[in-house]
Amino acid sequence: MKKHTRPIMAGALALAVVIALAACGSSKSSSTSSAAAGSSSSTTSSSSSSSTSKNGTTATVVIGTFPQSLDPSIDFTTQGGEVHWLTYLGPYSFAHASGTAGTQVIPSVATALPTVSDGGKTYTFTIRKGLTYSNGAPVKASDLTFGIERALKLGWSAASFLTSTIEGASAYSKGSAKTISGITTNDATGQTTIHLVSPYGAFLDILAVPGVSYMPAATTPMKPEPNSPPVGFGPYVIKNVQNNVSYDLVKNPTYAKQAIPGIPAGHLNIHFSIQSNTTTEASMVLNNQADVFDWGDTIPPSLIQQVSGLHDRFKAVQTNKTFYWFLNVTEKPFSSQLAREAVMIATDRPALARLGSGALVPGCFLLPPQMTGHPTGPCPYGIDPNASPDVAKAKQLVQQSGMAGQAVTVWAENRQPRLEWAENYAATLNAIGFKATLKTIADADYFSTIETLKNHPQTGFADWQQDFPNPTDFYQNLVDGNAIVPVGNSNYEEVNDPHIQSVLHNQLYKVPASQIATVASTWQALDTYVSQKAYVVPYGYLSSPEFLSNRINFGAVVFSPLEGNDFSSLQFK
């Protein structure tokens, strides 16, 4: 899943604002999905007092960038996921719980976990009776087929999860079929059967990812609806969308009457305010002018010491996030293996960690440390991720590659600290012999832009936050050439490596989620191979901030390892 700088305040003005605001501030790993979880182990509990609290009924979340889209058939970002898992339920969901319990798959619209047959190629389940959307229309089994077809037609960034697994999904996506042959439904009985091309151990997780959701086919248009999102089924509905400014999550009274076990109806309405400067964003929460600092953002260096001392309001949570530079292997200079190696060696990981407020742990592998399959061996090419890079060696490799002097456009997200990271990266490329310039894109448009295949970006910022606790998730961005699509393309590198595909399809995809540990060494070997090929250049793993105002009951908040702050758990004191 992608993630999110915005305009930076002039230095003196920024410092003055920080000092003024801070002066009045109050001081007040990865696991596999459970196939036996029928309900959540959430710590969330109902509270009748929250609605009558002196603080009101609406909490404010400050967030650095607008979601890629508030239409779930398009979005695949952390900002969208934290909203869509509460507004557009699919057959399954992830448990509303903190820690590893939050990686368990639980039934949502489905009555139970699926029956898996045909050697792992067929999934069958039945949906609950009597469910209705927020507009009162009945939820039907066939609405899932429509929801998936809509995601494929509109260019959902995670489409390869579906096109590479479900029979007929690729043909439908390419326009050569009128429907997805591998999905059959019966609205009378509520039964759904999904046939896979081949066994895929993480498929249950995919059925729980926001974006695989039910939508009323009769009333939902087959076109993007970002400012007036489609009707969905879930504890909240999206309202009052002002593009790049704000939006609201409002409790869904229809859901409260038919709440699904393990998926709370919520306590408060949630208002999201876009604050394009992280200093302003963090200061607002620090001074209780807002209630939640979005987990996808980074506390700025100027405030991290003060914020980290608020033990009853702040906690750094270790989540599986990898930050990396993508290198397009179809474009010069990164069509050259030596040129890519040079970038891997020259990347200044300690400097990037400092720009990340100390929350970034330097590293060199795509799979993060808490994920099964993270290599235990050293980085390739003698790299020490905690030491200054060998720029001279990298410069020599650029000369050997024949690419010295090659123009390189570094695609950068206009967002702190991502812009600063990209500026550092461009300077590194120049230092080793390329001619690099920045191409800065507004944060809300960044991923949609680099995912448009015709742009063929050479290199730039990318990141991946786990969508489910399986290493196959991180390899969606290195899927084979058949999944490189015109819109919503997550394979920015345009890699089509037969070795990667052979290992994935013949060895790893078929392994059940509960047995990932048995192939950990195979994953480690594959991830080491990817670093050696330098298709991507990982530079670190970021912890996530759980940072709240003193109005919020910190102890009652659920922090999902997949979706961050669970807004349905927010309660005022």
pLDDT tens readout for residues 277-297: 999 999 999 999 999 999 999
User: pTM to 2 decimals?
Assistant: 0.86
Hunting for tokens 């400050």 — which residue is that? Answer: 62
pLDDT band, very low/low/confident/very high, at 495 (cuts 50, 70, 90): very high
Beta bridge pairs of residue 325: 461, 537
Compute the average pLDDT of residues 350-367.
Answer: 93
Backbone angles phi, psi at 531, to 5 degrees: -65, -40
* C-alpha to C-alpha distance for 180 and 212, rounded to whole angstroms: 14
Compute the average pLDDT of residues 425-445.
Answer: 95
According to the model, what pLDDT value does residue 17 have?
36
Residue 56 pLDDT greater than 80, yes or no: no
* C-alpha to C-alpha distance for 5 and 22, rounded to whole angstroms: 22
Compute the average pLDDT of residues 397-408.
Answer: 98
Backbone angles phi, psi at 247, to 5 degrees: -165, 165
% residues pLDDT > 90 (the chain): 82
* C-alpha to C-alpha distance for 361 and 441, rounded to whole angstroms: 26
Angle between helices 391-401 and 337-346 (to 10 degrees): 170
How many residues does the structure list for the chain? 573
According to the model, what pLDDT value does residue 157 have?
84
List CB contacts of 22: < 8 A, sequence separation 6 or more: 283, 286, 287, 303, 306
Query: Which one is predicted more confidently, 241 or 477?
Result: 241
Beta bridge pairs of residue 2: 77
Q: Between the CA of residue 87 and those of 68, 72, 93, 234, 268, what are the distances in Å?
A: 16, 9, 12, 4, 14
pLDDT band, very low/low/confident/very high, at 8 (cuts 50, 70, 90): very low
| Conformational region of residue 468, where left means phi above 0, alpha means psi within -120 to 50, and beta covers everything else | beta
Helices (H), 90-168: 142-154, 160-163
According to the model, what pLDDT value does residue 448 have?
87
Note the pLDDT tens digit of each residue in 307-323. 999 999 999 998 999 99
According to the model, what pLDDT value does residue 45 have?
33
Q: Which amino acid is at 225?
A: E
Mean pLDDT of the chain: 89
Compute the average pLDDT of residues 506-520.
Answer: 94
CA dihedral sign of residues 475, 481, 487, 493: positive
According to the model, what pLDDT value does residue 401 have?
98
Compute the average pLDDT of residues 478-501.
Answer: 83
Query: Which one is predicted more confidently, 478 or 446?
Result: 446
According to the model, what pLDDT value does residue 490 have?
84
* C-alpha to C-alpha distance for 430 and 434, rounded to whole angstroms: 5
- Tell me: cis bond preceding 417? Omega within 30 of 0 counts: yes
According to the model, what pLDDT value does residue 529 have?
98
Which one, of 367, 558, 564, 542, lies nearest residue 469 by Cα?
Answer: 367
Residues 480-514 as b or e (16 or more Cβ within 10 Å = b): beebbbeebbbbbbbbbbeebbebbeeebbbbbbe
According to the model, what pLDDT value does residue 217 have?
94
* C-alpha to C-alpha distance for 162 and 76, rounded to whole angstroms: 14
% residues pLDDT > 70 (the chain): 90
Residue 41 pLDDT greater than 70, yes or no: no
| Conformational region of residue 416, where left means phi above 0, alpha means psi within -120 to 50, and beta covers everything else | beta
Compute the average pLDDT of residues 422-437.
Answer: 98
- Tell me: cis bond preceding 333? Omega within 30 of 0 counts: yes
